[in-house]
Structures are given as structure tokens and as C-alpha cells.
Structure 1
Amino acid sequence: MRLTTKGRFAVTAMLDLALREAGGPVTLAGISERQGISLSYLEQLFGKLRRSAIVESTRGPGGGYTLARKAAFISVSQIISAVDEPVDATQCGGKENCRGSQRCMTHDLWTELNATLFDYLSKVSLADLVDKQHAKEVNVIQDQRDIPAQRRARAESPTSAL
């Protein structure tokens, strides 16, 4: 699986969409602004995601994109495969002609890497990423609440007077 900018941006945009779609269709302009991805690039990516039945579009005022199925049933590998070329870490494109007409000595290594990476990303769902993002947000909020308490504790400690 090639992890290109295209694939990374698609996963990022899909996570943004999954986090916000409860409020209705999400606009590409909004994703563009929040994630710093050009709108024209997102239009290309979402065209491919729509053709792969990963997202659905709604036209008109209040329109935008929603997930075509529940986030738990959309894997990261599906998102990347929808926007990228075929999965391949080999130099030969899997044709086993890495060295002219022969396989290179590391061909099996790269082939196994392809399979391992694809298998891992197939097991990670968009819902998993949403859950992790929510957990991070909760931790940030908790940390922000703890900072004033930590400052007060330091100010009140006997060693702070020294």
C-alpha cells in the first residue's frame, strides 16, 4: 500500500467528516479550512470516494458530504485504496522483474510488507480513528482544567516562598 499525500489527505478529510456529520452534510470548504487541504484537491479526492461508495453527496443549500455507511464499516485501507493507485512497496510493481528480467533479492520482503500494511489498515476503521480523536480531545480538556489547579498548588506550596 502506498502511503502518499493523497492517501493521507483522504484519511484526514474522512476523519474530519466522520467527526462532524452528526450535524448534517459537511462541506468540502469547511474541511479545507480546518485541515489546510486545498479545496480543488478535496474535490478530486471526494469524487473518487463517492464513486467508491464511501461517501454520499447532497447538493444545494445545506449540502455537502456524509458517510455512505457507518464509520465502523469503513476501513482506512478502503479509503486509501479508493484514492490511490494499487498497493505496492516493490520496485517492480509486483511483476518480479526488479532486476531486468529477474527478481531482486528483497522482493519477498517488500511483498510481505505490502500484505502486512494492508492487513493492518484493513483492521483500523474510521470509527476507531473517531474514538481516538475523541479520547485526545477529552485529555486536552482535562489537561487544561488541571493547569490552574497545578499553578495554585505550586503557589501554595511551602517551597514556593523560598
Structure 2
Amino acid sequence: MRISSKGRYGIAAMICVAQLGRNGDFVTVISISEKLGISKIYLEQVFSLLKRSKLVNSVKGSQGGYHLAKSSERITAYDILQAVELSLFEKTERSVSAQAEGIEKSISSLVWDKLDESICEVLKNTTLRDLVFEAERNPDDDSYMYYI
């Protein structure tokens, strides 16, 4: 499965908002951009879609930024991808011509429909809280602390 950069950045950015905004602080696009190494302009497009889907709230101004509109337990990877990956959840196109309707139905019912269901199940069962927890289990740098 191939998720666009918008989808990948959307999930990564939401993890940052959840981590950096734990105390109710608003998280700026600049701070997320610096942490992830992603263009600020591109992230603003992603946040526009996240805001439209009511996953984040925003405040303008020097103390402004974004914070989660709901708790991280109530936001799923499915919610995030559905907000930013506009074509990801479209039905698969026909594989063969209308002359082979039986083959088309068998491919759809045994492959495409089951694949769609499996993907949606995984995405719906993965919460933003799960993603934050996993991100914190994997520190950003590979350095080790040595005590003498």
C-alpha cells in the first residue's frame, strides 16, 4: 500500500501535536516543521485538512498554534488518513471488462473488498494514543548515556 506524503506527514504531525501539546499548550507549525524536518508551507496544507475534519483546533497569534480537538484515545489513524488522503478510501476500479462479470465479482469479493476491510480495521483500531506511545518507546536519537 502506498500512502502519499500528505498522509504520512498528517500522522507524524498529529503525533507531534499530541506529544508537545500534552499540557493544553498550542503547538506551532514551525515547531512541528523543525522536529520532523518537513516544509512549513506543506504542513500548513495538511493542518488545513485536519482542521476541516475537526481533528485539531487552532488559535491565531503569537501564542497560537494547534491542539487536538479530541483526546488521543478518540482519534484513529483512519480518522487522520481519511482527513488528508482524499482518494485513499475510494472503491477499486474494475479489473476486467463487463463481458467477464463473474470474474470481476470474484476478484472484488475475495480480494479487493477483503483487502479494503482489513486495511480499515487496522487503521480504525490504531489510535493516536497508540502511535504516541510507540513513538516514545523509540527515542529520536540513537545515542546512549554512559555512566561512570
TM-score, structure 2 normalization? 0.83
Deviation at 1:85, TM superposition (A): 1.9
Secondary structure of the structure 1 residue equivalent to 2:81: helix
- 2:21 corresponding residue in structure 1: 21
- Aligned sequence identity (%): 31
Q: Distance in 1 between matches of 2:15 and 2:135?
A: 9
Instruction: Count matched residues.
Output: 141
SS at match of 1:3: coil
**Distance of 1:55 and 1:25 partners within structure 2:** 10
Distance 1:78 1:6, change over 3 A: same
In terms of Rg, which structure is larger?
Answer: 1
1:137 aligns with 2:134: no
Corresponding residue for residue 100 of structure 1: 97
In structure 1, the gaps of 5 or more residues are: 153-162
Contact preservation (8 Å) 1:2, 1:89:
no
Provide the residue aligned with 2:76 in structure 1: 75
Aligned to 1:137, what secondary structure does the other structure show?
coil
8 Å CA contact 1:2–1:88 kept in 2: the answer is no
Q: Deviation of residue 104 (structure 1)? A: 7.2
| TM superposition score normalised by structure 1 | 0.76
- The answer to which structure has the higher helix fraction is 1
Gaps of 5+ in 2: none
SS at match of 1:56: strand
Tell me the residue number matched to 1:160. Answer: none
Q: Alpha carbon RMSD of aligned pairs, Å? A: 2.5
